[in-house]
Structure formats: C-alpha cells, structure tokens
Structure 1
C-alpha cells in the first residue's frame, strides 16, 4: 500500500530538507526486517542526512523474489516513470528489501529506471554509499547477488538440520522401498502408527524410522541375496525368476535387472541410514554425490539381511568391474605426470575415466609409494622455495600488463615505484598480489591472501595460481571495506560471500577504470555548464 506522510516543524526547516520516499518490505524471514523496524532505521538515516519523508510505499508479507505481488513497488516504479513522484530520493533499508531477485540484473534495472528519472536510491543500512563510484558499483552487484541467494542460504540451513536427524537415525523423505515400512514415533521414541504411501507426519516433533515390512516381502529380499551370493545367479536371472512366480515390486511392477541391483546395493537392508546419495538443490539438475559426501548412521534400523551376506554381494559386484594391473595403474600415473608436470590426489581423482586415488592407496599402500615406483618425488619444501622464486619473477609482468590494460581503455594509472600501489584515474587505488596454491594434508588446496594494512588499497587484486602454480587460475577483486581481517584463506569453493568477487580475467578491473574515467569526464563537462 501507499501512505501519505504528515510532518511537523517549521516551514523553513522543511524547505531545508530534501523530499524523499521510503520503501519497506517484509515477507516472513525475520523480525528484524519488520516494516516498523525498517521505517525506524530509515527515519534515523533521513534525520542524519537532511531528508524529509513524503511517502511510504509498503509491501507487507511479500516475497522479494520477483515483482509479481509487490503492488507498492509497482506503484513506486509507476510514479517514478509517470512523473508523479514528488521526491528526489528513495530510501530503502538495505538491498535485500529492494528485492531478492534471482536475476541480480532485475533489481539493477528497477533502480536504473529511478536513476534515469533523476531519482536516486539510497540503502540506509549498507556500509557503502550508493554514489556510482567503481568500488560501490562492484560491491552493490555482489550485495544484489547475495540477496538473491537467500534461498540458497536457507537451503544450507535446512540441509544441516536434515543431516543431524539422519545421524540420529531418523528417516528423511522418500518411500521406504520394497521390504520396509515407515514407522511414526513421538519425541520420546514411542511407536505411534505405520505410515502408508503418500502419508506424512502432522506433528513437528514426531520422527520417522524404518521397520521391516510384510513377511512375504522380507522373504523375497532374502531370496534375492541368497540367489545372488550363494547360487551365483545374475540380477537378470533373479528378476526373471521373480516375475515367473508373479511377485511384483512395491510399486506393483515387474522386476528388472536394475530393480534387483538396487536391492543388492542398498545399505538400508542391513539397517544403515544413508542419505544425500544424490541431491537436487534450488530446482537445479539432479546430482549424484561421491561417497564421501553421503550422510550416514550405521545400524539405525532393524536389519533384514545380515551384514556378512551384504558385504559378500558388494564384493561380487566389485569383482565384475574392470581390474587394473599394477603396471596399468602406474602407466596412468606416468601419463598424468607428463600432462601436468606434478601429481596429487586431486589430479588423479579428476580423471573422468580411470582409477581413483584410493585405488592406488589400496594397491600400493600409499600414494607416495606409487609415486616412487614411477620416479616422482613431490619434494614439497623445495617446491615451496622454487614456487616463490618463480612468482617473484612473474610479478613485474603482471603489474606491467595491468598498467597497459588500463591505458588501453583510455584510463590513467600511477604506479608507486616502492610499493607498486596503483592509483587509477586519481579516483581509487589497487594493489596486486600473486597467491600461490598450497596443498593440505587432506589433499585439498588453499590460497592465503594477505592484505597490506600499511597501503590500505581500495581494491586488492588477488591473482590465484593454479594447483601446479604454473599459470593463473582466476582473479579476486576484494574491496577494502568488505575485508575485516588482515588475511583471507581461500578454498576451492568459498561461498558467495567471497566467490562473488571472483573473475576469470582482469576485465572487471579495466571496466572499473573505464567507468571512473567516464565519471571524471562527465563531472568535468558538468562544471563547464
């Protein structure tokens, strides 16, 4: 809704103040975002900056994902475009209240419509001023993306809660499957009722566990394992036998090789609670996760098949897979070494087709032993020294290339000969640092970025080297006022808070330089009129 605001005070004081409108929005996410709290913060901001609020545009109980049901924001945009706005500034609590648009450009578009009409948008609770400067531009883009990622962050929290329930032995989602049933229990673990297919719990504190199903289905499960392990029958032969007897699956369908195979590999038949084998987050594609990402609780339920029989079935299945000889395994390593010049567990596991690093550990006792057999020695301490020497040799070339790139777009840059601090167009400063890759004991990689507290550049350009430290992996453009510590430890995946500043080239830095140059020219032209 749109509300007109009345103000008291002397006429002279009102004339000295600049007219503004406030936009407030609340969905159901958190009390601190109530419209009353937003309005209070906005009014305090207005008082500090000399604004008087003429109108309030309020969307209560509305999601920020799109514009569909947000009548107040629609009205605000209409007033701006139709010349009906009697204010020069729009005050919003923060970027997320303007919207959690899944496409960050949509939020920017609505702000652009206001700016084109001569009306600015100010975000009262943000740390930056929305003044169009290069640094604020990149931060605002990141903040828009982060606002749009609210659903992703919520998904992470939900995942953590589900993980905890799995580890406590409770079932999370999906049908029980053939031979099993879902049992509802209360918060004290007392059984309440057996849930039929499609039925869900109605009390939040209730939980669900798996229990053995009807005797006939249990007998079928045990028959499948007996036929496969003791009689040596294939999944196809077992499926044909069940179909000949008129036995159907839990969905009332005929058995296939695949449905029998799923019975043989699912740990729930030995009572293990396993979750997150595959995932589909935020309506994205279905992803099958590696085993180390599975969430599990062993012996959570009553088993139908004994563990020895189950393990025997897994051994038979594994033996059918292609087995590599020792020499074949070592040949794969030699090829990887020739291709990359260095070996690690990650390099091995990145092979789309081939043995995993665990295969080498199993066969040779350790990766280092396998390395020795092909004459490769990591020599990490010596590599550290050589890598640092190589990076120091490369650094002047990166500085020169950056200066040249800014010059190519018509910008000006001044380089401090002692510190290499770059001052771009006299408007913002940038410092470049080459960040080497370091492999942890667990086989993952880290990049440690140290911020120069003495120079305090507006932007630190962290140039990350690849895992081999032989070439550039990517670039992080890190604004000073977003970095609260003297060092940032980057991983391969850092989440949106940091990865939103990641780029594949220095083009974004050059665009910032070009933008600041255009602003400088426009200010100069404005002063001539």
Structure 2
C-alpha cells in the first residue's frame, strides 16, 4: 500500500512522485492534458502524491536534445537531490520514440540507479523488473521508434506529392517573394506574414511576386552579376550602401546574395529535398538527382535566360583547378595582400576554398610554402594568439577569486585549467576569437574541450579587437554535447537562452547559502 494513517484517522501518502508529459506537435493541443488526467487517476488509485510536473510541449521524442523538461528531470535525478521516488509517464512513447531503443532504456536506468522508479500509467504491464515486463518493454520501445520511421516515410511521400502539385512546403518566401494561402479550390485567401502558418489542413501555400521595388532589386542583382561582372560580396556592399535590407531586415552578405542568384524559386520552380534531416539525424546535402521538382509552379520574377546564365557563370568559376592553377592563384593573393590566412582565402572572391588546398596539398602550410609564405610572418595573428594565451589564465583566476569571495569552493586542475565548483559540477572556460569578414560580418567559433567532459562550458565571446570580453555563453554539456558551432551577431533562441552579459549567473550557481540548524 502507498498510504498510511496518521493519528487523526486521515490517510497520508508515503510515496511522492512527479509526472512527465510530452506532446510532439502543437496540433495535439489536448495531448498533455489527457496524459496528465490519466496519470492523476493512476496516482489517486494508488495513494501516490504528485508534487510537480515536467513537460515538453511541441517536442519530438526522437532525441533528448531540445526536450528541456526531460533534461531537467534527469539532471535532478542525477544530482541526488530528488524529493520523489516515482516518475509517472503516460506510456513508453511519451518517454521517447528514440531510434535506438537502448537510449530510452539508458535514461530509465539512470533513474533506477538512483532508486527512482519510472512507471508507465497507460501500459498493460507493471514496470516491476520482471522478465515479462522487461521483454514487453523492449518490444514497446522498438515499436515506438518504428512508428516514427514509418510516419517519416509517409510524411515524406505526401510532401513530395504536394511539391509535384506546385505547393510550397515550409520555409520563408525569400526576398522579392511572398507566401500566399489558397483553399482547396485554388481560390486565394490572403498573404501570410512572417511567422504566420495555415490553420486548416486543406489549405495550401504558394509563392507570389512581392512588392515591385523588391522585384526590381532582385533583377538588379542579376544585372550587376551578368552585365557588370560584380561579384556577390560587392553586390552586398552596394545594397547595404543604398539602405536595402534582406527579407529578415538584416544587412546583405555574400551568402544572401548568392542565395538569390542560385535559388530556382525566382524562376517559378518548386524544389524540395535538396537537404535531408530525417529523424533528427545528420544533415545531408542530397545529390541533384534526388531533388523533387515542379517547374513553373509559381509566377517567375526573374527571366529564365538570366537565371541559367548566372548558373553557367558560377559553374565556370568553380571548375576543378590544376595544382599549378591553385598555386598561381595563391601566389597572386599573397602578392596583393602581403600575407595569407584561411580567413583571407575563404573570403576572397574567385579563390578556391581552404579545403581545396588542404585536400590537394595535405595542409595549408605546404601550400603556403609553395608560394614562399612563412606563416610565422603573420604577426597580427601571432600577437592576438599571444594575448589570448595571457587572457585565458587571467579570466580563470578572476573566476576563482569571485567564487571564493561569495563562499564557494574551487579546485583547479593545473594541467587542464578545469574548474571543479563546490565539488558539485565542473567548468571549462574557452575563448572564442572574433573573426571579421570583408563584408563586415562577424563570426565566433566555439570549440569545446571534449576530452575534459565538463558539465558546463563558459564560452567567452571576444570583441573585434580580441582584447576584451563581449559577452558570455554558459553551455551545459547535456544540451550541447561536444560538438562545436559558430555564432553570428544574431543567433537563434537555442543559443541566446544561454547568453549573459557577465558571469553573475555562474557565480550565483556557485554561491553557498548558510542554513541555520534547527533548535
């Protein structure tokens, strides 16, 4: 029994539980409520007290990434500070539709190891560790993953069919175009603003030409490229100088101009499956033969002749260079710039990428040597590196001192500079150099010390001079793993959530609070 009687004859619960609910899409607006009701009924029948709820709304069950509710629940369990003995879940599929059934079992085992039971309230078996429940649970986990695979195949087939009928399948319209909603009879219902989506399953979305001024600018871009020989970076500078912004109200860059010059939607073609990201696995750039295309699906705003002329010009400049041509281009760049670096090579119009040189010569250093450039002569780069080597230990010392001042305990590994805070969690501090491109855009590469496996990585984003900190990103390993990434001036919410102007939040995590002993 899960209840006991107190002196007054009332029943008192001796087991405390939390409930975890998840819905995968916003269309399942009652899903979490239905789950919660079933879980509550289950708990009441067994006299279990539910003390709080962890929820992931509109989240896929394929991976733990992005599921903040489940991540927080696992974190509480692993910390040993859980004030409950049971986790109540509607069924195995709500725990997750992991493509590897062992991953689902792994998260449950974490809880079991801490003495906490995961109970599936709507399943027809008791999760009691018996051979029968173990077998049934394994089958159910595999079935949950297989359901997602089958659904993915059906959805993809349906999307391909809609593409072939000329309907748009997600994504922004792009500069010079607009998304328009039509009903099942083909009648126009109205324009969709940025962020708006259709509300009826039978409605469809197509592309239409945008304002005349935007259409004129798109054709101006093509004219500059074809007739004036102006490349993407210079076109971006011209547009920015005129005060023209992209469809996202941002300055133009080489990449955004290139997208306008290469996307077939500007000649009315509806193209799908250029990139695959099925079942939340690796992002794959598909071969041209795998694309799904409907030609003349929309009204074109760029003449086909101009579009295909641009494609031919881009292919011509991207032809396979011989070793001699690669060296000659690198020598000319060295003579004009006086130094070489990967950044300079990649941002120079008409230059092959650094990956091309590495693939052909084994390393950039060997290519440099072939044109007489000694990387040691790049004094500005060396000076920045020298300053960063001095700055890193200084930030670590300041962090240690601040934590000690507020009563926290720090232990530092002298060989790795890994900080152990209060013997509760570890912190690695990395510096992210600011790289400024010729177009004026800024980028920061964040690299993790994967071998150290810290609980939190503090990424210090530096300013343009690389002399002082711009801001800080506190990145928990549970959310980001060990894969590096690149930050821009503006980033998605998945990154901005972890951005801070200073390290006060980290200090708050380390602060110790004195608890008075009861008399």
TM-score, normalised to structure 1, is 0.39
Structure (1 or 2) with the larger CA radius of gyration: 1
TM-score, normalised to structure 2, is 0.40
